Structure 1
Amino acid sequence: MTAKVGLVVVSHSARLAEGVVEVAAQMAPDVALHTAGGTDDGRVGTSFDKVETAVAGLLREVEQVVLLTDLGSATMTAESVLDMLDDDVAGRVVLADGPLVEGTVAGAVAAQSGADAAAVARAVAEAAGSFAGAAREPAPGGATAGPGSAPATAGPGPTPARQPAAGLGAGDAEALTATLTLRNKVGLHARPAALLARLVAGFDAEVTVNDVEAASVLALMGLGLGQGDEMRVRARGAQAADALDAVTTAVADGFGEE
């Protein structure tokens, strides 16, 4: 089912906009993603008519629309389109401020999880910090795990026991933790990270993986975890146990890649 928020990617390059949408669509298959790239005659630049058409088209498909732009003049074009919207639809369209690629991915995953336009725009704004700020975890043998790290061999391993989280304050008494080992060959790359982020967003619980927010696909990708690396999962809230069980099952199943 199509999410209630759709995204318009506004870029000076039609091919750039199409590429960004292609990547985001892999992680948010139910989100309507439209492009408005290049000028009307195919040159590098932006087009008021293309942006307006993309927004109008999406408004016929979804409840709300979020626009993302690559450079200043694209932002000005998008702002001009917003200024010309009729009053009855103006409140349904939001211009987000954030990095184009990371922001589109983060915003699309948020929309896939049912977020409204304001929450999607926040995900876009936080995207760069989420990715850059994710901690790099030590890989087996003392090396730092990250993209391109050599994967370790992972066996099936036992299902981890659910445990109360250590070092919690009084308000964290219901937090649960588990340590899981990634089994799929490529670890927490884009698609598994998106699946995990969407999964935890469906529970009334706060979930972290290696101390980063599990609902943030970019934070998960930024951990650089590969096959054989450990995920320290912590869940707290009304559905903490259910969320932890769901994450454990997803990891054990190799995120459907085995």
Structure 2
Amino acid sequence: MVAESAGRVGIVFVSHSEKIATGLVELARQMAPTVRLAAAGGTDSGGIGTSFEKISVGISAANDGAGVVILCDLGSAILTAETVRDFLEEAEQDQVRIVDAPFVEGGVAAAVAAETGGDLDEVVAAAQSALHVMSEATLAIQPPAATGVSRTVILINKDGLHARPAAEFVNLASTFSVPISVNGTDARSLLSIMSLGLARGSSVQLTSTDPAAGPAINALADLLESGFGEQ
């Protein structure tokens, strides 16, 4: 269950259920098609539990030289993953991180961060951001500064900013160096944007305090107005 990549951080999903791990890889692949994603779910015989061998194989499959992030569904899965990591060479251990983060939300956020070229620390941080993203989403919308720029658009695609278009939006936002917010939340945070629940017909305010952000704001607004091919 691996998607090929070139020089990106890989991700291993360790679950007690083979179907859950495989399903999460399928979900994450929709938003991170070039990242190496490996499912390590269930026991060697296909039962409920975890497998030293599957996790070991998953790490090898996901590793493209930029490091590997492991996310686990339950505590005992973490113990198995830690045992596998302990058997690696010391240099390899430094490149394998086991992250304590929500399995689905953290995994998706990590995959998108890897897709946008984040390094190992950045991918780990993206996964961990899922722990507090809901509180961030409740922040009040901040108006643009007097010297900043803003643009408001209406979502037209059928399902609004669900996972795939949200990831496409974040990928584009991550290419700009200027700060940009979407209805008061960071345009580069997939989970924050998805937690806004922006459906078809929703008003989306893009703002930046940087007066040079006009081209970035317009590019993102144009993407939203395109409907992501889903009208």
TM, length-normalised to structure 1: 0.81
Instruction: Show CA shifts across 1:10-31 (max 9, x none).
Output: 0111111011111111111111
Gaps of 5+ in 1: 138-164
Separation in 2 of the partners of 1:167 and 1:202? 22
Q: 1:117 — aligned with what?
A: 120
Q: Does 1:101 align with 2:104?
A: yes
How far residue 57 of structure 1 moved from its aligned partner, in angstroms, is: 2.2
Report how many residues are paired: 225
The verdict on how the C-alpha distance between 1:205 and 1:84 changes in structure 2, with shifts beyond 3 A counting, is: same
Q: Does 1:223 align with 2:196?
A: yes
Structure showing greater radius of gyration is 1
| Superposition map of 1:47-62 within 5 A | 47-59=51-63, 61-62=64-65
How far residue 237 of structure 1 moved from its aligned partner, in angstroms, is: 4.5
Q: Is the partner of 1:253 in helix, strand or coil?
A: helix
Separation in 1 of the partners of 2:101 and 2:191? 13
Amino acid of the residue matched to residue 249 of structure 1? D
Amino acid of the residue matched to residue 200 of structure 2? Q
The verdict on how the C-alpha distance between 1:112 and 1:237 changes in structure 2, with shifts beyond 3 A counting, is: farther
Residues 197 and 215 of structure 1 are in contact (CA less than 8 Å); yes or no, is this contact kept in structure 2? yes
The structure 2 residue matched to 1:198, chosen from 162, 171, 188, is 171
Residues 150 and 205 of structure 2 are in contact (CA less than 8 Å); yes or no, is this contact kept in structure 1? yes
Residues 135 and 222 of structure 1 are in contact (CA less than 8 Å); yes or no, is this contact kept in structure 2? no
The verdict on how the C-alpha distance between 1:100 and 1:242 changes in structure 2, with shifts beyond 3 A counting, is: same
Residues 103 and 127 of structure 1 are in contact (CA less than 8 Å); yes or no, is this contact kept in structure 2? yes
Q: 2:21 — aligned with what?
A: 17
Q: Is the partner of 2:132 in helix, strand or coil?
A: helix
* RMSD, aligned CA: 2.0
Q: Does 1:129 align with 2:102?
A: no
Residues 34 and 58 of structure 1 are in contact (CA less than 8 Å); yes or no, is this contact kept in structure 2? yes
Q: 1:90 — aligned with what?
A: 93
Residues 94 and 118 of structure 1 are in contact (CA less than 8 Å); yes or no, is this contact kept in structure 2? no
How far residue 87 of structure 1 moved from its aligned partner, in angstroms, is: 2.1
